[in-house]
Amino acid sequence: MNDRAPQPVERQLPTEESRDLLALVREIAQREIRPRAAEEEDAGRFPREVFALLSESGLLGLPYDGEFGGGEQPYEVYLQVLEELAAARLTVGLGVSVHSLACHGLAGYGTKEQQSAHLPAMLGGGLLGAYCLSEPAAGSDAASLRTKAVRDGDGWVITGTKAWITHGGVADFYTVLARTGVEGPKGITAFLVPGDAEGLTAAVPEKKMGLKGSPTAQLHFDGVRVPDSRRIGEEGQGFTIALAALDAGRLGIAACAIGVAQAALDEALAYALDRKQFGHPIADFQGLRFMLADMATKIEAGRALYLAAARLRDAGKPFSRQAAMAKLFCTDAAMAVTTDAVQVLGGYGYTADFPVERLMREAKVLQIVEGTNQIQRMVIARHLAGPESR
Ligand SMILES: Cc1cc2nc3c(=O)[nH]c(=O)nc-3n(C[C@H](O)[C@H](O)[C@H](O)COP(=O)(O)OP(=O)(O)OC[C@H]3O[C@@H](n4cnc5c(N)ncnc54)[C@H](O)[C@@H]3O)c2cc1C
């Protein structure tokens, strides 16, 4: 097993402050996250205390306004932080991305009263969030969701089942999309539900191929009452809120994918320089050198693509098509790079003694979450063909 800390990635960062921030994140990642990743992923242990540390260090609200406790960092900086965290352990990088997704609705569409009541604790007060869109029968076709919220006096009663919820059962708050009106996207409303709400229960977490430290669970809403003050945005605006969060969230997944791929390349390179066959380090053989060169090129291309999309977002320009492209390209690159990393390590790559087999299993989920890569291609094609097309 290679315990050598990988060389820092050469990054383009806009300010001295952002360079210091990345240095802090690398230090936390190397000291608190990376050394425990293999053992805890194997045991399926969720590192709640790491999220408490990240919150204390101001790393759970980075891309949000300072008014309510956010870090006021541009997306190009926030995403590179996610990349570093995911390179150390995907459960943490993806967890921060999902938490940020769960804050997106309230930060973007909540009233000032709602924001001042809830955002400080969400962005830096130690709370952890989850985002509840998917259901057992509504995955890619999320607008067909059936969880209902029915008006009752000055509040709402939510009933139904959400599926595949990252942090399901361990989150302190849930951003929940529920049907309050007609079928389809126009009948959906967003709510902020506390984790300890009466009638809210989590099932036993799914047994997954990888990402085992990150709990993914069904959530049952059995007549969960929330006051109207916990409705985010207008009635019927929920799907717009959900999709806006996903545009930003997809960039988070892209950055996490590049982190996983970078970690795999670092491992493969270190191994190839060390391992000798036929009297030479295997890194001397052109067959492997070309493979390593292709892996590194995919990573640089993916990083450039997600940063280009992030910079559009930071400039206030539309970035939805580029976010879908970044999610598609970076997660496919992560799958290819991690698979090649296993190949570079030969038989040892196929064992749990080295992290590359875990990274390969983790890369797979990134092609599925926050819109599968087939759905990303649909989004990109719709942008190309125009809004009237299917
Ligand atoms: C580990 C994990 C964590 C997750 N975390 C969350 C979370 O925190 N919150 C949340 O809301 N959801 C979460 N999800 C759910 C995730 O977003 C869905 O799994 C994903 O959207 C796909 O939905 P599905 O699994 O129902 O697949 P389906 O929609 O049933 O798709 C099955 C297959 O059909 C393909 N397909 C479907 N429709 C089309 C089409 N029109 N054209 C071409 N191909 C199509 C898909 O690409 C896929 O390959 C998570 C999932 C996983 C595995």
Ligand 1 contact via 304 beta carbon (within 6 Å)? no
Q: Which of 186, 142, 185 is nearest to 163 (CA)?
A: 142
- β-strand pairing of 129-132 with 173-179: parallel
Angle between helices 320-344 and 373-385 (to 10 degrees): 140
User: Within 10 A of 79 (CB to CB), how many other CB atoms are there?
Assistant: 28
Do residues 76 and 313 lie in contact, with contact meaning Cβ atoms separated by under 8 Å? Answer: no
Q: What is the pLDDT along the chain (390 residues), one digit of tens a residue?
A: 445 567 789 999 999 999 999 999 999 999 999 999 999 999 999 999 999 999 999 999 999 999 999 999 999 999 999 999 999 999 999 999 999 999 999 999 999 999 999 999 999 999 999 999 999 999 999 999 999 999 999 999 999 999 999 999 999 999 999 999 999 999 999 999 999 999 999 999 999 999 999 999 999 999 999 999 999 999 999 999 999 999 999 999 999 999 999 999 999 999 999 999 999 999 999 999 999 999 999 999 999 999 999 999 999 999 999 999 999 999 999 999 999 999 999 999 999 999 999 999 999 999 999 999 999 999 999 999 986 766
| pLDDT recorded at residue 390 | 64
Alpha-carbon distances, residue 5 vs 2, 35, 83, 87 (angstroms):
8, 10, 16, 11
| pLDDT recorded at residue 5 | 62
Do residues 314 and 323 lie in contact, with contact meaning Cβ atoms separated by under 8 Å? Answer: no
Ligand 1 centroid from CA 366, angstroms: 11
113 by DSSP, 3-state: which?
A: helix
Q: Which of 80, 47, 43, 46 is nearest to 63 (CA)?
A: 80
Ligand 1 contact via 211 beta carbon (within 6 Å)? yes
> Which atom of ligand 1 has the smallest separation from the CA of 138?
26
The verdict on whether 370 is a catalytic residue reads yes
Q: Which of 360, 372, 367, 370 is nearest to 260 (CA)?
A: 360
Do residues 179 and 146 lie in contact, with contact meaning Cβ atoms separated by under 8 Å? Answer: yes
Q: Give the max Cα distance, the chain.
A: 79
| pLDDT recorded at residue 285 | 98
Do residues 260 and 90 lie in contact, with contact meaning Cβ atoms separated by under 8 Å? Answer: yes
Read off the tokens for 85: 């965290």
Q: Distance from first CA to last CA of the chain, Å, rounded?
A: 49
| pLDDT recorded at residue 7 | 77
Q: What are phi and psi of 98, to 5 degrees?
A: -65, -40
> Which atom of ligand 1 has the smallest separation from the CA of 375?
47
DSSP string computed for 57-100: TT-SSTTS-GGGT-----HHHHHHHHHHHHHH-HHHHHHHHHHH
User: Alpha-carbon distance 227 to 290, whole Å?
Assistant: 60
> Which of 164, 175, 361 gets mutated to test ligand 1 (max ligand atoms within 8 A of its CB)?
164
Q: Alpha helices, DSSP H only, in 275-319?
A: 286-314
Q: Is the pTM of this model over 0.95?
A: yes
Q: What residue's CA is closest to ligand 1, atom 41?
A: 375
Q: Which of 69, 104, 45 is nearest to 252 (CA)?
A: 104
- The active-site residue out of 41, 84, 362, 370 is 370
Ligand 1 contact via 239 beta carbon (within 6 Å)? no
Query: Residue 34: left (phi > 0), alpha (psi -120 to 50), or beta?
Result: alpha
Ligand 1 contact via 139 beta carbon (within 6 Å)? yes
Angle between helices 48-56 and 90-109 (to 10 degrees): 50
Alpha-carbon distances, residue 80 vs 76, 152, 223, 258 (angstroms):
7, 44, 41, 9
Q: Please, what are the domains in the chain?
A: 16-124 (1.10.540.10), 129-239 (2.40.110.10), 240-385 (1.20.140.10)
